Amino acid sequence: GAVVSQHPSRVICKSGTSVKIECRSLDFQATTMFWYRQFPKKSLMLMATSNEGSKATYEQGVEKDKFLINHASLTLSTLTVTSAHPEDSSFYICSAWTNTDTQYFGPGTRLTVL
Amino acid sequence: QKEVEQNSGPLSVPEGAIASLNCTYSDRGSQSFFWYRQYSGKSPELIMSIYSNGDKEDGRFTAQLNKASQYVSLLIRDSQPSDSATYLCAVGFSGGYNKLIFGAGTRLAVHP
- Residue-level pLDDT at A52: 87
Contact B18, B75 (CB under 8 A): yes
Q: Does A34 touch chain B (CB under 8 A)?
A: yes
Q: How many CA atoms lie within 13 A of A20 on its CB side?
A: 7
Q: How far apart are CA A18 and CA A105, in angstroms?
A: 23
* Any B CB within 8 A of A28 CB: no
Closest partner residue to A43 among B42, B98, B102, by Cβ? Answer: B102
Q: Is the pLDDT reported for residue B86 higher than 70?
A: yes
pLDDT in tens, B15-74: 999 999 999 999 888 889 999 999 998 999 999 999 999 999 999 999 999 999 999 999
Q: Are A85 and B23 in contact (CB under 8 A)?
A: no
Residue pair A27/A2 in contact (Cβ under 8 Å)? The answer is yes
Name A25's Cβ contacts closer than 8 Å, sequence gap at least 6: A2, A3, A4, A33, A74, A75, A76, A96
List B71's β-bridge partners, or say none.
Answer: B24, B66
Chain A residues with CB under 8 Å of B34 CB are 103
pLDDT of residue A2: 60
Q: Does A96 have pLDDT greater than 70?
A: yes
